[in-house]
Structure 1
Amino acid sequence: MSTDPVDTLRRWQHSGALWRVLWRRGDAVTIGLFECTGGQEVDQFTSTDPALLRSLGERTSSED
C-alpha cells in the first residue's frame, strides 16, 4: 500500500476495486478496501491526513 492515502484510493479505484468509509470522526477516517464486486473486504486503514479528508469531502465510497 502506498504511504499516500489519496494515491492508495486513486489506484484502488482505477484498478476497478471499491473503497468505503467505515468510520469517520472529526479529523480521522477509516477506509475499507473491497474486491471489485464490493463483497469481501481486503484491507483497511485509518488516516488523519488532511489531503485525504479534503479529497473525500462528504463521499462515503468510491461509488459516490
Structure 2
Amino acid sequence: MVERMTARDRVEELKRWQDSGAVWTVVSRTPDRLTIALLRCDGGEEVDRFESADPALREFVGDRVDSTQ
C-alpha cells in the first residue's frame, strides 16, 4: 500500500504557533520560497524549521521578518 503525504497548512501552523505565544522567524526568503524557523515561547531555542513555496504562506508572512511585527 502506498501512503499519500498530505500537504500541511503552514499558515494555520504559524497562526497556532504565534497564538500560543511562541515566535517564528524568516530564516531566508527568495521570490518563490520561504524558510521559517519556529522558536520557543521565550524567543530562544529553535524547535523546528521548514521551507515552503506556498503562495498563501508568502502572503501571510508578507514583508515581516518574524511574528513579533
Give me the TM-score of the superposition, normalised by structure 1. Answer: 0.94
2:20 alignment partner, one of 6, 10, 15: 15
Equivalence for 1:4: 9
Moved over 6 A (4+): none
Q: Which runs of 5+ in 2 are unaligned?
A: 1-6
In the TM superposition, what are the counterparts of 1:45-56 in structure 2 within 5 Å?
45-56=50-61
Q: For structure 1, which runs of at least 5 residues remain unmatched after alignment?
A: none
Separation (CA, whole Å) in 2 of partners of 1:12 and 1:4: 12
Higher Rg: 2
1:7 is paired with a residue of what secondary structure? helix
TM-score (norm 2): 0.88
The reply on whether 1:42 has 2:51 as its aligned counterpart is no
Tell me how far 1:20 sits from its aligned partner. 0.1
Identity %: 49
Instruction: Report the aligned-residue RMSD.
Output: 1.1
**Partner amino acid, structure 2, of 1:45:** F
| Equivalences, count | 63
